[in-house]
Structures are given as C-alpha cells and as structure tokens.
Structure 1
Amino acid sequence: MNTTARRAVIVKLLKKYNSVKTVELCKTLNVTRETVRRDLYYLEKQNIARTIRGGAILNVALNETNYERRLHHNVKIKQLIAEQFCKYVHKGDTVYLDYGTTSLAVAKILHTQSELTVITNSIPIINELYKTRGLNLIVLGGAVRQNEGSLYGLDAIQALRHLNINIGFFSGSGIDLAKGLSNHHIGESQLTRQALQQSQIKVVGVEHEKFNKVFTNHIMLIQDIDILITDQLTDAALINALNQQTHLDQVNIMD
C-alpha cells in the first residue's frame, strides 16, 4: 500500500470513529509506529486530524457537515420525527426548539398552528415562524454562529433562566448508550443544557445514523430523556436497550 492509499485509509477510519490509535493503525496497515506518526503529522498539517498522545482525533471543523447540505439529507425521516414530536404539543404550550435541521422540520409544522409560544436560538427557525399569526416567538440573542445560523453565548443562557418551557425538542450530532447525547460546538451545547433545565418534558429526535457516535461536548444522558424519537432503521438490539432507559417512539419511514 502506497503512502496516498494508506493516508486515505486513516482518514476513512477517522471519519468513522472520530479517533484512531497508533498501535491499532500499525496492525491494520502493517507498518511501523514511525510511519504512522509521519502520516498523522501530515494529516494534522492538512487540518484533517489533531494528534494526541497515542493517536489522533478528527478535526471537528472537518467532521461537522454544512447546514445547507444537511437540509437535504434524511428529509423524510426528519419530517416523520417532527410530526411525531408535534403530537405531544398542545394548545397554549411554550415550546423550545433547538438549532438544527430536524428542529426546522418541526417549525414548518408549528407554522400552521397558533396559540403557542416558541423559544429558539435558530435563525432559520426565526425566519420560518416570525410572520405566523397567533404564535408568540421568543428569540434568544447572542453571538451568531454563521455556518449553523444559530445564536449562543451568555446573553442567551441568561435569558433562558427566566423562561419556563412546557416541552423542548432537542437533537445532537451523536448519541450513545453510555455517553448519551453529544454535540460539536461548546457554546451551543451550553445553551442546550440550560434549555433542558428549563423544560418540563425533554424530547430528543435523532436519525439512526447518529447512534453509537460520541462528540466532544456532552449534553445529556439517555435516562434523562423523557421521550426519544427515532426511525425503525435503528439497530434492534439498540432499541431494546434504549427501551430500558427511556420512553421510545419509532417512526416508520416505509409507510
């Protein structure tokens, strides 16, 4: 295997597992530690990886997908998750919508409803809802994260502390049985944790692809989720384990 092919394998492993170990790469690629170290240093210079003791981790900026691209990914699943969530929303509720493309799918449904209060830090959701008659929209101010169109920071957190939320909808970059829900961005994760504290009912909606993935910023454990909504493509053994920790709703994308 030549150098280019070997480094391509390492990048593939980084994207799949978010981290690699030098010892394991030596065995997988049948090369020396020095060769692996040179490859990892090269990938670090290319801003693909960051070397750590005993291996490397994927560069978060590379791993995080573009918001516009995510809008067109798993559209049907996100729509069904959004529809299922909206069954728990009642007239007069105060609803929190986290940033993200699945939350935007929820907003598109709430757009047709009235006599609700919606709290959000998402600019795309604000644009979707601000003209809706009969819907009270509360926008959390703060610093703008341009690649996600979201607001975060101390001002947003302070504003949330004075608000009571009946039901909150949350998503994340990854979810794991042991580590729970996690995310890329520290500022948005801090805001999400505050929103969770203010929410009476905490609903998480995630596609099957996000399971068994752990990212830097912890948000919440599985057992702290009141309702978890996912699709039927999630592994059956995982579904059984999740059912022991939280109330699970599955949407059938084959309908």
Structure 2
Amino acid sequence: MPYATYEYQGRRYVGRVERTENGDRLVPLVGLSELGRDTPADVLSAAAELPDQAVAANDAYLCPVVPHPDKIICIGLNYLAHVGETGRDLPTYPVMFTKFASSLIGPRDDILLPAESEQVDYEAELAVVIGRTGRRIPREQAANHILGYTVANDVTMRDYQYKTHQWLQGKAWDHSTPLGPYLIGPGEADVSAAGIRAVMGGKKLQESDTSRLIFDIATLIATVSEFTTVLPGDVILTGTPGGVGFRRDPQLFLRDGDEITVEVDGIGSLTNRVRRES
C-alpha cells in the first residue's frame, strides 16, 4: 500500500494513503514520524493505524517521502538515449554520485533557482527506497531489500556540474530535488517497463520506460551494496532518459514561473513550480 511522510498542525506523521472518490486521505501510523532508517519493511507493515485521525492529503504538507535518508546514491548515464545525447561511451560500470538529505524538497514545493546558476536543468527519475539492511547483496536477492518506489526530479545546475570532472557541485544543491509524493510498495507496481516522462507547458521533454535502463534496479542494489551497507530509508535514483535541457538545441533551462511535472507510470507524479530564490 502507498505511504507518505506528512505534516499536519505542526506534527509530522507517517500515513497510509487511502484512495477515495473525494481524493486521497492519510491515515497516521502509531509511533512513526517519518519514513527512513527507523521504518524498515517489517516495522512499517506491522504498525497500527489511527483511522479516526485521518486527514485529506490536500490539507497536509507532503514532505519528501524520506526526509532524512542516510544515503542518496544517484546513477548517471543509465539510459542509452541519454548516453547518446551526451556523446559519451556506453558505461560498463554504473556512474554514481551522491546527494545529501538537505538536497531534498517535498513533491509540491517550489524549485528554487539560485542566483549563482543560469543553467538549472530537469531530470525525470524513478527512485528506489531501501527497506532492509544489507551488504554485498547478490543480485538475485536485491528485491528482498526494496521498501518501495517513488518519483524524483534530479534538478541539476549544469554550469556548476561541468566546472570539474566530478559532478557533486552541480547535483547536491540545498533544497533542489523533489522526492515523492508517495512510497509505492514493490508488490503494487511493475517497474520492469514503467513509462517515465518530464512534461512542461504541455510538451513532453523526456519520455522513455524503465526497461531501457542500462543497469537495472537489482544490479544497482548489488553494485552499491558491494562497497557500502545499504540501510532502510536509503534512496537510489536510477538515472534519467534522454531529452535533458542542456543537450537540446537550443538549450532549455528552468526559468522563473515554469511548472515542471515528472511522471512514472504506476508510481505517481510530482509537479513543482519554479521560482527565483530571493
């Protein structure tokens, strides 16, 4: 079932998402204040509910699905079309970089354009959330460590990304990466060939499906866990398809007043307005 981390009347909760004809409702779970390290799969599935305290999702503030992950591991160059548009060689090992918890924003929050960057770009991505601790996880056991999936926009400051051969300074800006809206359990969605797209102003800027990942989710979990212990709440961003703004002709960057939507079929969508940071 879907879950969310949300705030209502000054308190933070984990809630089960209840779909109704009148919109989504959030049913709080006893003793849980946010999805993350303290909510492995067994804890989440066993938590009691407080149905009399349910609230409409539209009346609550939706936090990043995992507000404080121990690790955010991001994968670059993981769709063939994106590799092609960059002019790079096909990777034989996943290209990885990190973000910090401070990079994350909620699924309805504004994307802020920092004064220092003039090349703020979008990247539609499927995100995987870890649900069970593991190290050196065999590929065939990787699915047992997945808590669920959500949607991300890996907003990137291209003029900073390409200042060096390392990408960190263009990828890990504070308050730049929408994550949400909900966590969808592994049994509730087929991500083997889920459509993924970015849409702005009614135009599809990116469109692909997850069957076109160069390194699939099981391979990513096995690879990451080879060198570091994955923990409940850790997030892996699986890469973006072709069509990013930096590689377009003419180039297309996010501007004040834009509204950008990222969708992953069966997982959800997030829409964020763009505004200049004051």
Please, what TM-score do these two structures have when normalized by structure 1?
A: 0.26
Q: Which has the larger radius of gyration?
A: 1
Structure 1 or 2: more helix by fraction: 1
TM-score, normalised with respect to structure 2: 0.25
**Higher relative strand content:** 2
Bigger RCO of structures 1 and 2 (CA < 8 A, at least 6 apart): 2
